[in-house]
Amino acid sequence: MMTSAMTNYTEELSIYSSSELLLRHRLKLVENLWESVLTNECGQELVDLLDKLKSACSPEGQTNETQNISVSKWIEQLELDDAIKAVRAFALYFQLINIVEQHYEQRTQKLIRRTTTEDQVNAIQKPESHNHQPTTLDTKEEAQSYFNPKSNPASGGTFHWLFPYLQKLNMPPPKIQQLLDQLDINLVFTAHPTEIVRHTIRKKQRRISHFLEKLDAAEESFRAMGLTNSWEAENYRECLTEEVRLWWRTDELHQFKPTVLDEVDYALHYFQEVLFQTLPELSIRLKQALHNTFPKLKSPTHKFCYFGSWVGGDRDGNPFVTPEVTWSTACYQRNLVIDKYLESMGQLNDILSLSLHWCNVMPELLDSLERDRIGMPELYDKLYVRYRQEPYRLKLAYIEQRLKNTQVRNEALSDPETRKSIKLANKDDSLYPSKLDLLEDLNLIKYNLENTGLKCKELDHLISQVEIFGFHLTPLDFRQDSSRHSDALSEIAEYLGVLDKPYEELSETEKTAWLVQELKTRRPLIPSEINFSDATGETIETFKILRALQTEFGLDICHTYIISMTNYVSDVLEVLLLAKEAGLYDPILGITSIRIVPLFETVEDLKRAPMVMTELFELPLYRACLAGGYENVAKLPSNLVLPELNPKNLQEIMLGYSDSNKDSGFLSSNWEIHKAQKTLARIGDKYGFNIKIFHGRGGSVGRGGGPAYAAILAQPTSTIDGRIKITEQGEVLASKYSLPELALYNLETISTAVIQASLLGSGFDDIEPWNQIMEEIAAYSRKAYRQLIYEQPDFIDFFLSVTPIEEISKLQISSRPARRSSGKKDISSLRAIPWVFSWTQSRFLLPAWYGVGTALQEFLNQEPEENLKLLRYFYLKWPFFKMVISKAEMTLSKVDLQMASHYVDELAKDEDKERFQKVFNQIAKEYYLSRDIVLQINEQERLLDNDPELQRSVQLRNGTIVPLGFLQVSLLKRLRQYASQDKAGLIHFRYSKEELLRGALLTINGIAAGMRNTG
């Protein structure tokens, strides 16, 4: 059996180029496992059906028009149970492919690490495209090429490539040092994930990846010995088979709508499994690479790249994020991080077994142990005999007990009842009030070891973890819609009768004047005993809980307050006034402990942003907030002691890709954000403030997603300067952070891009004629997009009918509603995530490309030959333009108009088909125009010809998504027919509504897995 397996294995390998052997072999392996499990679980008939359904697509992965009708008929005749099995099978297939690709990517990164620095300096930006000539494994050299590191050349995007490259360009070391000193990279997990894979399934995926890694090692080992197979490799294949079988028998769908704390658990899973151990290694990599090339330069702090979270803090549109939930989230995070520190204590206890008989100990450590003995005499009595000759272990025992005491207190704080009796910010010596206290103890041990000639890497690793994660794990950003603050102040002002007319009727000038007046006094505005409306009460309590969190956890836990839909200066001042009422702002000293972050979302808001920020910077009280207080102000008596925000003179501004894209289209949105960044940076320079841009990117291109490295390099040069903040949406977390090496690679490429973009700006963003051309093209694009989305009278009906938007709103994937509170079934009330998600499911992917073709064609029509040359030059030289075209190309490659047409034909009612066909024809015309012009600009024959690896990945998925699309349409039809009959009081269905809905939701799950980015 082993010999037969090895023969098949060799045959499979022989048809691929050596550089892709491992990936191709693994894809074939999991496909065989998949078919084997399905045959055993469901019978050969299901496997035959799946093969039949696969024939519905062309080799390029598009729907095969000639097979369309017959496949549709097969599916219509399927029993619901068989249809659901087919859906589950394809969904499982996609997720297995995802695991294999991630595993392959991680392995590639490990191999790249083995290349020399010189290899990386000389490496090209992208590995060579691979030819696909047949090869065999007849020779030892060819067999070893399967695992040959040199088949994976290094490329740009790593620290070991970057610093020698900077040296080659004669970049002044002082300039590099200045940038490293202010390096500030913040990646933020968001609170509204479209990640629809259950926690349970994620664990199974991790186990499969683990078995693949073991199988790699086993195969590499037996090949090195000239063997054809081994019992160990066979064992891991059996483990993989069993794991896939267990997965098949596990439900993919959430059984209940997740709560906010469920989402917290999901997000923190990545810290628990990967990031807590991985993030400190990023600092080590940077330090090693820097010192290899610039040995005299000082590496940045361990916390130059760190994470934040909206999960549990983002209350915009989510009524379930209450002050109590936010408090519970903070306690949850602290509990997790203490658990990790306690694990490290056990490891260090095994390592630091040094005896006084054989080593010296510095007096500082002995003094510390004496203080510990006095502070914790019971522990001393318990451990002294055991550790009387082992001072390091005794010190670690005291540290461990303090950590346990801190955890006990934290658990009591997480309970609303027991919390009432606990004083916040307790300074008890048996606890660790802050990370500084723990670091003091750990650094004392490190100091003693180093002064006696010893080092401990595990201790160094723990110290860097404490510096990064503290006792908070990750900062929580607060976010709320601007209208909630104005509504609250309107209600308060009306009750107090302090205004001549209602607050909401004041002009912007009048609002600003009143807010500034109120912000100049310490006099309270909000009465303490008045019962306001629930919304106003919750708004007031939110600021109180923010103050309580800072008191207990310090500034590390929360200091950022984001205002969604910022339109005017008053939106910012309203938050500052509410902060003052909670003790977060001292008007006399001009000090605040929160950073207020305006979020500019729509295109109109982006255009207005420079004016808003100019007006804010003109206000003395706001300038004082950023500067850390008024200069030369006598400190009047106050019981308000606020911690200092650092760095000073920093203004964070968030730019929203989602709503601007939904409002104006992909090309126009990207250009408006690009322009806004440049203008805001200039305004910051004028007033002496550093601007940190917070990019609200989604996972999909329609919401600002795309490769982070290229996206950062495409930002205007003057807008980064070592500082950037980026959202990481729930849907992309698994692809980036589920495996350690992938996580490290993602973090390293982002960090490299920030340094590279800050030091090596292209300068093309400042060529005014180019900007004027892009302004013109963006205007054409916006006009074309809005003509379809907002001016085509049949468009909303089309969208609601031919996409699964209503069914998506029933999917248990998020604690937040799909629509904003208005409840209207219009585009403006719909959130950007389900908007993009729906178009992705139906294979239109419309938000990510519509309007691009018309806009570029309008420009080409003016001077066809000359303007085409110019656009090609832009593509070669201008990072921003290349990024836009590349994103559009990638999205267009995933569009399947044949499948999209099937959605229209089958889901539209008979009376709507004629008008809907006109809308579809308009979309199809724009698609072909966009595709053709993109190919003219990048001078390729087919989409993604210039990126064979991505092309292969997209085509691989596209092909199997086709039958899932047919299955989804069939199930949606049945579900909607049931709903129609139910409404009419006539039910003649063999299946219940719940069964049909379950089937439809499973197709959504499967297509999401296949497309990899959803919304």
Active site residues: 192, 662
Closest CA to 920 of 853, 855, 842: 842
Q: Are 237 and 705 in contact (CB under 8 A)?
A: no
Strands 595-600 and 560-564: parallel
Q: Which two tokens stand for residue 810?
A: 């029933």
Task: Report the C-alpha gap between 888 and 669 in whole angstroms.
Answer: 13
Cα–Cα distance, 782 to 943 (Å, whole number): 24
> Is the bond into 647 cis (omega within 30 degrees of 0)?
yes
Termini Cα distance of the chain = 46
Which H or E run contains 563? strand 560-564
Asked if residues 607 and 652 have their Cβ atoms less than 8 Å apart, the reply is no
Cα 590 from Cα 592, distance rounded (Å): 7
Start-end of H helices in 55-131: 65-76, 80-113, 117-122
Q: From the centroid of its chain, how far is CA 226?
A: 44
Helix-helix angle 768-789:852-862, to 10 degrees? 130
Q: Edge to edge, what strands does the sheet with 595-600 contain? A: 305-309, 184-189, 723-728, 690-696, 650-656, 595-600, 560-564, 478-481
* Burial class of residue 893, CB neighbours in 10 A (0-12, 13-18, 19+): buried
- Residue 987 φ/ψ, nearest 5 degrees: -115, 115
Phi-psi domain of 1008 (left: phi exceeds 0; alpha: psi -120 through 50; beta: other): alpha
DSSP string over 443-494: HHHHHHHHHTT---HHHHHHHHHHHHHTTTSSPBPEEEEHHHHHHHHHHHHH
CA distance 656 to 603: 9
- Give the integer Cα–Cα distance in Å for 484 and 552: 26
Q: Which two tokens stand for residue 179?
A: 């940038």
Encoding tokens for residue 92?
């499982």
Query: ∠ at Cα 209 (251, 30), nearest 5°?
Result: 75
Residues 6+ apart with CB under 8 A from 131: 17
To 10 degrees, the CA torsion angle through 709, 711, 716, 722? -40
Supply the DSSP string of 867-929, one letter for each residue. HHHHHHHHHHH-HHHHHHHHHHHHHHHH--HHHHHHHHHHHS-GGGHHHHHHHHHHHHHHHHH
Q: What is the sign of the dihedral through the CA atoms of 479, 481, 482 and 483? A: negative
**HEC string of 672-707?**
HHHHHHHHHHHHHHHHCCEEEEEEECCCCHHHCCCC
Where are any strands of DSSP class E within 220-344? Answer: 305-309
Closest by CA position to 25, among listed 205, 223, 201: 223
The amino acid at residue 197 is V
For 132, the token pair is: 């696909």
Two structure tokens written together for 471: 């006792």
Q: From CA 626, how far away is CA 820, in angstroms rounded?
A: 33
∠ CA(977), CA(981), CA(983), 5° rounding?
115
